[in-house]
Amino acid sequence: MPSVSCSPPAGRPPASFARRPDRMRPCPQAVLHMIEDKRNQAKLGGGQKRIDAQHNKGKLTARERIDLLLDSGSFREYDAFVEHRCHDFGMAENKITGDGVVTGYGTVNGRLVYVFSQDFTSYGGSLSKTNAQKICKVMDQAMLVGAPVIGLNDSGGARIQEGVDSLGGYADIFQKNVLASGVVPQISLIMGPCAGGAVYSPALTDFTFMVRDTSYLFVTGPDVVKAVTNEQVTQEELGGAGPHTTKSGVAHLAFDNDIEALARLRDFVDFLPLSNRHEVPVRPTHDSPDRKDDALNILVPTDSTKAYDIKDVITRIVDDNNFFEVMPDFAKNIVVGFGRLDGETVSIIANQPLVSSGVLDINSSIKAARWVRFCDAFNIPLLTFVDVPGFLPGTAQEHGGIIRNGAKLLYAYAEATVPKITVITRKAYGGAYDVMSSKHLRGDVNYSWPTGEIAVMGAKGAVEIIFRQFANPLPAAQRGFLDDILIPSETRTRIIQDLKMLKNKKLTNPAKKHGNIPL
């Protein structure tokens, strides 16, 4: 828009006008019009035609996503007027205000979060130098004040016109991801394509969620795969929500559409502390801490060969039967997620007897280890339910590195300094007994139900008379490895009492630069 200048007042011009006629200032009203025009351009992104194309794909725009994620009216935008500074390949004449990403802060259920939302209508959401600077700015601010960072990813990748500047922008973001790790929660919601180097930022964050049929994560796309390996594969088969939530474990949850994803993300954020300096959030509940559930007394079969669903145990113990499971479709033989007890967030890890008898294998060890480390970093108490027959045997597991990967879970539990409460519901066999937050790994409170079987191995691997002697909770309790043997219906009340007792627990590990977890 051309500059519009105010005319000098009638009569003789002021001395300033006479002296410097070349420096006539725009009038305030013209400046306001200019600012408002630019702001409206930023809100329009790549234009109405591209917005319509986004809607036709069943996807929301960057700003619509922010509006649904954050509390109404709470969003405060940063850098709405930023434009790229690239002059190559005709880019000087191709500028979109905002430069393809919307950034700022707002609240989710009244709690502060920072957010960036890539705008696919602007240059396909591609990353430029200025685009990366906007993202890094909100990450720096989030670490400064202590608030989660949520990234809504929908990008075609690096902006090729900017070359190495774009690659440098990715590296800058990766560095911020690493510095923020363990300081503030980082969540990536993949709502469109995310390919090439762009995938490593979500991989460095704490949680990655995806939208089915519209989001993709892969290092190299189907065309490159075909050229290199001659393998025919679709985007969905290669990097869709299906394979990443069931096979690779790259994504933690998948949702059917943008609206569901953003609504569930709001629920999820409600469980998290704002940073490693904040306590876990407390939500009011009418569920009495003294509530007993007699169904727990008969839920676990006495026959150790019969399966049951550990989620039935979890939901009957947590507040209002509300359990938010994470990674439900990957490594189903172990269950992880958030619940609340007396209003406060707790982290739950549990072997799942319904799947492979709850055995520990490579994938379940990796899944649980990363979960434990996240919760320890953010001071979320660990509640572990144990029903594990051991580690999965076989050449596939041994050659795949079960020793190294199983040690990850062992390391995570041993390193954790948060309150750790463990309940053995049935089997606790062999080395898996040690790994699953045993008293020997600085467990604070360790219980067993009367159905507990703590032994070196199962009945088929031991002489029956020896097995009968040791495959019950008493020997471990007599040695002080268990603090008590609980009536199952009283579990909720006891755990809530223990969490209150452990509220001010202080435990530090020996001074070191960092440990060397068996990655």
Q: Which residues are catalytic?
A: 196-197, 431-432
User: How is residue 509 annotated by DSSP?
Assistant: P
Q: Check the CA dihedral 197-399-353-454 and report its sign.
A: negative
Q: Are strands 101-108 and 111-118 parallel, antiparallel or unpaired?
A: antiparallel
379 neighbors 281 (Cβ within 8 angstroms)? no
Q: Is 8 exposed, middle or buried (0-12, 13-18, 19+ CB in 10 A)?
A: middle
* Distance in angstroms (rounded) separating the CA atoms of residues 176 and 136: 7
CA angle, residues 339, 343, 349, in degrees to nearest 5: 20
Coil, helix or strand at residue 229: helix
Helices in 57-128 by DSSP H: which ranges?
Answer: 62-69
Tokens for 204, please give them. Answer: 């460095």
Side chain identity at residue 310, one-letter code: I
Per DSSP (E only), the strands in 109-227 are 111-118, 149-153, 186-190, 193-195, 207-211, 216-218
Burial 139-163 (b: 16+ CB within 10 A, else e): bebbbeeebbbbbbbbbbbbbebbe
Nearest to 70 by CA among 3, 148, 128: 148
* Paired residues of 411 in beta bridges: none
3-state helix, strand, coil in the chain (%, to 5): 45, 20, 40
Distances (CA, A) of 188 to 113, 153, 253: 13, 7, 11
Coil, helix or strand at residue 210: strand
272 neighbors 281 (Cβ within 8 angstroms)? yes
Nearest to 71 by CA among 105, 106, 114: 106
99 neighbors 134 (Cβ within 8 angstroms)? yes
* Distance in angstroms (rounded) separating the CA atoms of residues 44 and 56: 17
Distances (CA, A) of 427 to 82, 294, 353: 59, 21, 10
* Distance in angstroms (rounded) separating the CA atoms of residues 354 and 341: 25
Side chain identity at residue 499, one-letter code: L
Q: Are strands 149-153 and 111-118 parallel, antiparallel or unpaired?
A: parallel
* Paired residues of 388 in beta bridges: 428
